[in-house]
């Protein structure tokens, strides 16, 4: 019987004063299982930032100053089950903001300024 071990990477970038998440490209790294960018100064999560991370299941972005999350910022991460966005400055959950998160079990938006949640926040645009 053969045992196969796969490396699991936890990307931990907390309490580092980071203002631009794009300076830490992670797309396509299949070993990343957790992304921890809490307690920074992030204000924006760009389109497809989390693209092609098949083993990612946990994202922590709490305690930042996030106001904008682009549509499809979370596209390409089908196994994510938990996203922490508490204590940011999000005022609207807009169309396709959380598109493609089919296994999401827990989403924390606590202590944000959310006033509007659009119906299509979790939908995927099929072009129809």
From 42, 75, 65, select the one nearest 113 (Cα to Cα). 65
* CATH numbers and ranges of domains, the chain: 8-128 (3.80.10.10)
CB-based contact 14:42 (threshold 8 Å): no
pLDDT in tens, 12-36: 999 999 999 999 999 888 999 999 9
Cα gap 78→52, rounded to integer Å: 9
Give the confidence band of 100 by pLDDT, cuts at 50, 70, 90.
confident
Cα gap 71→95, rounded to integer Å: 7
Cα gap 18→24, rounded to integer Å: 10
In this prediction the pTM is: 0.88
Rounded to 5 degrees, what angle do the CA atoms 25, 81, 52 make? 35
pLDDT in tens, 44-55: 999 989 988 999
């Amino acid at each position: 019987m053969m045992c196969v071990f796969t490396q699991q990477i936890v990307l931990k970038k907390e309490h580092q004063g980071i203002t631009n998440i794009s300076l830490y490209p992670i797309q396509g790294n299949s070993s990343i299982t957790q992304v921890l960018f809490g307690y920074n100064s992030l204000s924006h999560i760009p389109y497809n930032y989390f693209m092609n991370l098949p083993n990612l299941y946990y994202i922590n972005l709490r305690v930042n100053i996030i106001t904008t999350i682009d549509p499809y910022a979370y596209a390409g991460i089908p196994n994510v089950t938990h996203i922490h966005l508490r204590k940011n400055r999000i005022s609207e959950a807009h169309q396709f903001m959380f598109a493609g998160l089919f296994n999401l079990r827990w989403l924390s938006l606590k202590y944000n300024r959310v006033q509007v949640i659009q119906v299509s926040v979790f939908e995927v645009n099929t072009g129809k």
